[in-house]
């Protein structure tokens, strides 16, 4: 890769003051816990149906259809109804299992906590930008002990839209009182995080370690690639040597 300094356009050489983090699959592997939750739902449903295929990927695919939101319970209802397994009681139980297992099995990627502490020591302001709603975002951050690590969070129910709509990024910049060139976005999706952030003029760090989606993007629409979360400190360090002020 070319030197990082050469990859950053000259009109973006401003003091870095904030880092905006996507949450799911950037701080922790959210797909892994969703698959665990799907497995436990099927285990519960299979107690009364020995013929039920207990493949968590089969239920997980319902969440990928785009019919509802990525976390909407209606995906579970559709799965149950199409297999003639639906009752109100069983449905409520499946929703409870889903929420419980997602939270209980959350684990931070290696180095996340220490890296965030180092960034705060540099005087950087840290923010969450997520398509989850506030309730779920608070619950997850509380579960992994990071709720107090961020100045605030921007969620889908606060902006009324989801990424790649740029509303999340604009909301955060307005709240921080910063220009795009003064902030860095860290996220696992090229389409939903990197591309819209870069179009607005923010610096971008692509968390490739968390990108579980096949991508058709061919253009490198990010400034730096993170193979692990800890790589972020190397990128910040490079920026620090050139144009970060930490007073």
Per-residue confidence (pLDDT) for residue 142, from 0 to 100 = 98
* Of 207, 236, 223, 14, the residue nearest 126 (C-alpha): 236
CATH class in words for 18-29+108-242 = alpha beta
pLDDT digits (tens, 9 = 90+) for 35-66: 999 999 999 998 877 778 889 999 999 999 98
Distance (Å, whole) CA 137 – CA 128:
9
What are the domain boundaries of the chain?
Answer: 18-29+108-242, 31-105
For residue 154 the two structure tokens come to: 């921007």
Quick: pLDDT tens for 220-231: 789 999 999 999
pLDDT of residue 155: 97
C-alpha closest to that of 108 among 186, 45, 26: 26
Which residues pair with residue 21 across a beta bridge?
A: 128, 186
Summarised one tens digit per residue, pLDDT across range 84-133 is 999 999 999 999 999 999 999 999 999 999 999 999 999 999 999 999 99
pTM confidence score: 0.88
Reported as a pLDDT band with limits 50, 70 and 90, residue 75 is very high
> Could you tell me the pLDDT band of residue 243, with boundaries at 50, 70 and 90?
very low
Rounded to whole angstroms, the Cα distance separating 230 from 109 reads 9
DSSP per residue over 44-82, as a string? HHHTT-TTS---HHHHHHHHTSSSS-TT-THHHHHHHHH
H-helix or E-strand spanning residue 101: helix 88-104
DSSP assignment of 160-205, as one string? TS-TTSTHHHHHHHHHHT--GGGEEEEES-IIIIIHHHHHHT-EEE
């Amino acid at each position: 890769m070319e030197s990082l300094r050469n990859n950053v356009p000259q009109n973006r050489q401003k003091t870095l003051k904030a880092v905006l983090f996507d949450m799911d699959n950037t701080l922790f592997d959210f797909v892994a816990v969703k698959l665990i939750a799907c497995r436990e739902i099927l285990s519960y449903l299979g107690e009364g149906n020995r013929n039920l295929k207990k493949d968590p990927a089969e239920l997980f695919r319902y969440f990928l259809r785009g019919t509802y939101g990525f976390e909407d319970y209606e995906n579970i209802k559709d799965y149950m109804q199409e297999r003639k397994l639906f009752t109100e009681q069983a449905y409520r139980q499946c929703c409870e299992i889903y929420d419980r297992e997602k939270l209980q099995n959350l684990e931070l990627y290696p180095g996340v906590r220490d890296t965030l502490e180092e960034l705060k020591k540099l005087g950087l302001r840290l923010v969450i930008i997520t398509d989850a709603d506030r309730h779920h975002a608070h619950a997850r951050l509380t579960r992994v002990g990071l709720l107090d690590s961020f100045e605030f969070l921007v969620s889908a129910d606060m902006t009324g839209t989801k990424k790649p709509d740029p509303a999340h990024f604009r909301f955060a910049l307005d709240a921080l009182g910063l220009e795009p060139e003064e902030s860095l976005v860290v996220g696992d999706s090229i389409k939903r995080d990197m591309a819209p952030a870069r179009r607005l003029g923010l610096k971008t760090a692509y968390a490739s370690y968390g990108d579980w989606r096949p991508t058709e993007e061919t253009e490198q629409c990010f400034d730096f690639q993170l193979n692990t979360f800890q790589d972020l400190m190397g990128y910040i360090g490079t920026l620090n040597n050139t144009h970060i002020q930490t007073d």
